Structure 1
Amino acid sequence: MASQAVAKAVPEGAQVQKWKVFYTIREARDLIGATDRSLAILNALLSFHPEMELSGDGELIVWPSNEQLMARANGMPATTLRRHLAVLVGCGLIIRRDSPNGKRFARKGRGGQVEQAYGFDLSPIVARAEEFEELADAVRAEKNAFRLAKERLTLLRRDVVKLIETGIEENVPGNWGRVQQSYQVIVGRLPRSAPRQLIEDICCDLHGLYTEILEVLESFAKTQNLDANESHSGRHIQNSNPDSIFESEDGSRKKNEAGGSVAETDNVRSLPKRELPLGIVLDACPNMRELAQGGEIRHWRDLLATAELARPMLAISPSAWRDACEVMGEQHAAITIAAIYQRSDQINSAGGYLRSLTEKARDGKFSTWPMIMALLNAGLKAQKTPETSAGPSKEPDDDRPGLQVSDSLLKSLQKPRR
């Protein structure tokens, strides 16, 4: 009944090329619900229409017998023919116009014109021609999107493998075994024949892994360049960039103090203006030595490389680390990571904590000095506690000398905090 209602709605004067619309139907057959066998029968039915065009004003009923249809359908069995004729009717591509006795025939007038025909009505093809074209466009767009997704997947797989090989060959600090395992887990979700949505999801995961590896390699290359500049000029790595963000923040901080803005400078007015020595940072954050490759951190670049190792262990995203480097400078961002790693058992969300400190540093309200001094003070208290309980004769577990600080620094640490 729905197909008949559509057929009655054929606009007057509508015309379509029967083979052109047939190719459109064949392209969109999955969305229409047709099968290959049913389309073979539709092709045979269209061949019984004498004109090349199907017109809404003309007679669109064909009345071939089953024997004629089976012959033009390459000898299809009668039972298969009847089953797929029902499929064409169910898809709304044809309409049955049955005679009283169920046979297909046509009555002609004296002039040879068809007055009454019983068979299969092809008018739904004319009425739904635009719909079929839209469905075919959707199928073509889906095929194109699927092709692009497969191409992107191939490129990402190739690029990730090349980046991992580069990191291993260049001895870039990092847990490359874990990276390879992550890659295998992502690719292992890909079946032999995957839908487009699954391919796109895997592409998103691979792109995230690709971005993370690329950032590690770029950071390593940048560190190598800084090392080359340091060895060439004989200057400290921190002084290789005189216009760093941290120094500009220090200058703006002094300007605010001169302007008398007490609310913004109350937390940083009494902070030291000199740089933190690497030795003090390592005494305050001894866990970084255990994480460092070779167990030694001799230069700031070694601390930066170790911070790159600690970042994924703390579940800090690459974007949070990048923002911290841009705002604080790479050296102070590495010091902040070292302090967070030292207190990792006391921090629920290291990534959120780093972003909070980055925002404070952006406003000139954060310095690494108080953080390192607090860790030093905690280390001194931890050293005094076992000495008091076990006696002065207890030897340390390792051969590394104990924490050594000057008397003036010890006095400043023991002062009550305001």
Structure 2
Amino acid sequence: MKKMSQTGFGQSAEVCTSADKWALLATLTEAAPDIGLNHRTLSVLKALLSFFPDRILPEDAGAAVVFPSNRSLSLRLNGMPESTLRRHLATLVTQGIVSRQDGPNRKRFARRYGIPYGFDLSPLARTAQSLRQAADSARERAAHLTALRDRLALLRARLLEDERLSPDHPLMEQIRLTLRRKAVETTLRNLIEHVEPLLSAPPPRPCDTAKMSGRDAQNERHIQSTNKNKSVNKAMPLELAQEETEIPLENVLRHCHEYKSYFPEATQSWHGVCSVSDQLHGMLGITRPLYMRAQAKLGIKATAAVILAMLERMPDIRKPAAYFQGLIQRFDEGCLNLNAMFGQQKGRKLSADNFWRR
């Protein structure tokens, strides 16, 4: 046993150089897939490196020995189970990243004389050159895969742009799923070789549309006449709609006072009324598209007046958005009198239900 305790372990290095342990760990991380290491094994190696006091790892056998217990390693690894820790330590030893020499009682400890029992990290320094080569190869392979993925994505975009294949085509769906996953080089090359001939062929000619006859049958041309006196065209300018639904400003200011609770400094002009309406319609639950639709039909000023009138009657309106949409529908049907909402006659109750037939 005394003879065994004095026997050195590890491989002798022909050239004695030094290397930064953290730089070696970063290099090993890039080359890990080729070596057969995962991130958990690298975490265990990082914990072992943290027990070595110096930053530079020597290449001499037995010159970089650490001897932490499994409990200490587990605590430094945020409570990794001991069974998992032993498995990853065995992987490091099997791959030749570290060397292991236990004491006679299968423990790891330091000795006053001779090499301590524990894990020797010098093999990591001795394999630095091969690790750098493996990392360079991994970077080149990753760059090559990225170029293939970019080329395949470009080909797919060209197919969609030229309308050679529809988005729901099986080949397009296969390309989409491949680009979302971590595909190997062979799969990417096969797809590229299959897609490139499709782009080299002439683009498909658009099919000629048959001239439709004038018969009143299904799927034939449709002629619709619009009564312009009954509704307002959606494409009509806002200025024209405002002229058709003009409301006196005095009536609006005389009958609408509730908005002053929110905007006490609002100007007594159409500009101020429209500005207040732009900020109030969202508070009433009226969406912006519906509000803009009303402006296109009723006009900007009339829409603002309707919003202020609705605010006066909010306790009686359960669904303001539906109520507002109903007003627009009444206007399209030609049975809405906006001026009557503001009680032109003295003593008339303010109500949006006053409508008339045109």
TM-score computed with the length of structure 2 as normaliser? 0.50
Name the structure where helix makes up a greater proportion of residues: 1
